[in-house]
Structure 1
Amino acid sequence: MEWITTTDIHILFGLHYLAGPHMDMFMTWFTTMINTIWLWAILAAAGLWKRRSRWVTLTIIVAVILAILVGDVAIKHFVMRIRPYLVIPGAPTLDTLKYPISYSFPSGHSFFFFAGATVLFRSCRRLGIAAYGLACVVAFSRMYLFMHFPSDVLTGAVLGIIIGNIAWQICGYAKKRLSH
């Protein structure tokens, strides 16, 4: 486990060579936006409102709920990995952000966004590719801000893809059963 942590720390500081006032400002804005619950509530309501996107939206909601249960409720409290900004001496943080104190492994944001992107990809490849791009920016932001180790983010992304596919299967089965 120590070699993973050592590699993670080298990667984090390597990514931080990109730091500067403009990047810090973007990361503050971006993190604030992806953590704005009303934005996601409006997007979910809009997706549920339109008949064409209703099942995909419900599937994304199922995927995110599964990701929360698996990642935030189960794995984080089993592994109990402390966040990098709390354990790495001299870890750079931004005063403009409120840093979470929950456990680090796996990255919940990476988990949620990759789960949702997977559902979108299964529904519409072009939209899914854009969603995967957004998920990659989210994953990068978690490392840039020293909120997660790279292994937290990678695990969250892989689990998100798995859970997104599971949600797609569950909701596809439910849709078939309800249409009969």
Structure 2
Amino acid sequence: MDFPSGDPAAPQPRIARWLDDAERVDVAIYAAIAQTPTPALDRAMARLSRAADYSRLSLISAAVLSAGAGRRGRRAAASGLASVAVTATVVNLDLKPFGRRRRPDRATAQVPVARQVRMPASTSFPSGHSAAAFAFATGVGQVLPPVAIPLRGLAALVAYSRVHTGVHYPGDVVAGALTGTVLAQLTTHALDRRATQRR
């Protein structure tokens, strides 16, 4: 039976039900991680999460590549940093305000104090740290594919650290990783096209 628009008894559209289910799973995974004692991991994840603030790990990696991998290293570093710049701009100015998801409630979830880092004032979706880390790894990988493997591993750890420290839900970091990867691919494609046109 079709219900008239606005009828409170009307069933939710299927997509809304899927989103509600996904939200419940997301919150449940966050709670499970928060309530799992991991004292050996807590400080390490907190340190890693703080180290990734302002894309510091990407900046350090770019400096190492520029100094130690010659011309291709400098090109890879530039590609990675350009990808981070585009991704950070899009995520912070466009996606976060649109997403408007509140940050997790660490007190309710009982996230251990030992693993906590500063709770950002911005909205939660998507994770900017995850987006930037994966953007850098993808941008570098377009020039030096072997180097992208450890950088993607580092990006995955950064993404997990944001959940472990309680500042993001798992869905936020997955969305951030996908966003950073896609935006980096678009950025490097634009850079390659521009370089080709100059030749």
Same fold? TM cut 0.5: yes
The alignment of Structure 1 onto Structure 2 pairs a total of residues equal to 178
CA distance in 2, matches of 1:38, 1:117: 13
Gaps of 5+ in 2: 1-18
Q: 2:178 aligns with which of 154, 158, 161?
A: 158
> What is the CA deviation profile of residues 133-177 of structure 1, one whole-angstrom value per residue up to 9, with x for unaligned ones?
111111111111121111111111111111111111011112223
Segments ≥4 residues shifted beyond 6 Å: none
Q: Find the counterpart in structure 2 of residue 56 from structure 1.
A: 76
The Cα shift of 1:117 comes to 1.2
What is the TM-score when the length of structure 1 is the normalising length?
0.85
1:79 equivalent in alignment to 2:99 = yes
2:36 paired with 1:12: no
Q: Which amino acid is the alignment partner of residue 31 of structure 2?
A: F
Percent identical: 26
Q: More helix by proportion, 1 or 2?
A: 1
Q: 1:128 to 1:37 in 2, by over 3 A?
A: closer
Change in Cα spacing, 1:36 to 1:22, as seen in structure 2 (3 Å) is farther
Task: Using structure 2 for the length normalisation, give the TM-score.
Answer: 0.78
* C-alpha spacing 1:66/1:93, structure 2 compared with 1 (3 Å): farther
**2:152 corresponds to:** 132
- Whether 1:121 aligns to 2:141 is yes
Question: What SS does the aligned partner of 2:166 have?
Answer: coil
Q: Give me the whole-angstrom Cα distance separating, in 2, the residues matched to 1:126 and 1:48.
A: 16
Q: What is the rounded CA distance, in whole Å, between the counterparts of 2:163 and 2:182 in structure 1?
A: 22
* Aligned counterpart for 1:28 among listed residues 46, 59, 84: 46
Determine the C-alpha separation between the residues in 2 that align with 1:19 and 1:51.
46
Number of the residue aligned with 1:101: 121
Deviations 1:78-122 (A, max 9, x none): 121111136x72341536622212110001111111111112222
> For residues 63 and 197 of structure 2, what CA distance do their matches in structure 1 show?
24
Structural RMSD (CA): 2.3
Q: Tell me the distance in 2 between the aligned counterparts of 1:90 and 1:37.
A: 28
Q: Is the 8 Å Cα contact of residues 85 and 93 (structure 1) preserved in structure 2?
A: no
Q: Secondary structure at the match of 1:151?
A: helix
Quick check: 40-49 or 166-175, which moved more? 40-49
Assess, with a 3 A threshold, how the Cα gap between structure 1 residues 71 and 93 changes in structure 2: closer, same or farther: farther
Aligned mate of 2:190, from 163, 170, 173: 170
Contiguous gaps of at least 5 residues in structure 1: none
Name the amino acid aligned to 1:111. Answer: A
Instruction: Tell me the CA shift for residue 42 of structure 1.
Output: 4.8
Structure 1 residue 16: Cα displacement = 3.4
Counterpart code for 2:177: A
Query: Which of structures 1 and 2 has the bigger CA Rg?
Result: 2
Contact 1:91 1:146 in 2 (8 A): no
